[in-house]
A and B are shown apart, each in its own frame.
Chain A
Amino acid sequence: QKEVEQDPGPLSVPEGAIVSLNCTYSNSAFQYFMWYRQYSRKGPELLMYTYSSGNKEDGRFTAQVDKSSKYISLFIRDSQPSDSATYLCAMTYTQGGSEKLVFGKGTKLTVNP
Chain B
Amino acid sequence: KAGVTQTPRYLIKTRGQQVTLSCSPISGHRSVSWYQQTPGQGLQFLFEYFSETQRNKGNFPGRFSGRQFSNSRSEMNVSTLELGDSALYLCASSFRAVQETQYFGPGTRLLVL
Partner of B97, one of A88, A99, A105: A99
Interface residue total, chain A, C-beta cutoff 8 A: 21
Q: Does B28 contact A (CB under 8 A)?
A: no
* Inter-chain contact B105/A100, CB cutoff 8 Å: no
* Inter-chain contact B42/A105, CB cutoff 8 Å: yes
Q: Is the interface on chain B under 10, 10 to 19, 20 to 34, or 35 or more residues? A: 20 to 34
Closest to A6 in B: B42
* Complex contacts, A101 vs chain B, CB 8 Å: 33, 45, 98-99
Q: How many A-B residue pairs have CB under 8 A?
A: 49
Q: Does B26 contact A (CB under 8 A)?
A: no
Interface string of A14-43 (1 = CB under 8 A from B): 000000000000000001100000000111
* Inter-chain contact B44/A103, CB cutoff 8 Å: yes
Q: Does B78 contact A (CB under 8 A)?
A: no
Q: Does B56 contact A (CB under 8 A)?
A: yes
Q: List chain B positions with a Cβ less than 8 A from chain A.
A: 4, 33, 35, 41-45, 55-56, 90, 92, 97-99, 101-107
Q: List chain A positions with a Cβ less than 8 A from chain B.
A: 31-32, 41-46, 49, 88, 90, 92, 98-106
